[in-house]
Amino acid sequence: MMTDVLLILAVGVIAAFFWQLRQMAEISRRFAERECQKQKVQLLAIAMESARPSFGGHSGICWQAKYMLEFSTDGINQFKATITMRGKQIQKIQWPIFPEPDWLEAPMTKGSIGGGCGSRGSCNSGCKK
């Protein structure tokens, strides 16, 4: 009788931790989609690298998980970022150095190279000759 209660309790605890991991995976997926839209890159995949129980904080026991985010800037090259979560909160995201995704949207300079008036033509921006 007592072993049945302990077995049911253990199954309940395992199910609760599994449910929390599933919620964390969904939160990290939505976060990755938003961050990729902000960075103007294509999200390729997101996967859990590691998860371990963590103690402390305001929630007591929870999971600390690390997710790997794969993305592309041009459809050819692939880069990897890391999302770290504790419980249902994003702790940090680490982006690698990657090239600017779309050079057509970069600001265009006007005038000569190096700014200023240059050696050719007049300057209409108030520079003195």
DSSP string, 51-98: EEEEE-SSSSEEEEEEEEEEEESSSS--EEEEEEEETTEEEEEEPPP-
Sequence-distant (6+) residues with CB within 8 A of 59 are: 87
What pLDDT does residue 16 have?
Answer: 83
Judged by average pLDDT, the poorest of 77-81, 84-88, 109-113 is 109-113
Q: 2-101: which CATH topology?
A: Nuclear Transport Factor 2; Chain: A, (3.10.450)
Cut 0.75: pTM above it: no
How far is it, in rounded angstroms, from Cα 19 to Cα 74? 36
How far is it, in rounded angstroms, from Cα 105 to Cα 84? 31
φ, ψ of residue 52 to 5 degrees: the values are -145, 150
Q: Using one digit for the tens of pLDDT, what is the confidence trace for 41-50?
A: 889 999 999 9
Q: Which residue carries 């999302």 as its tokens?
A: 83
Which pair of tokens denotes residue 79?
A: 């880069």
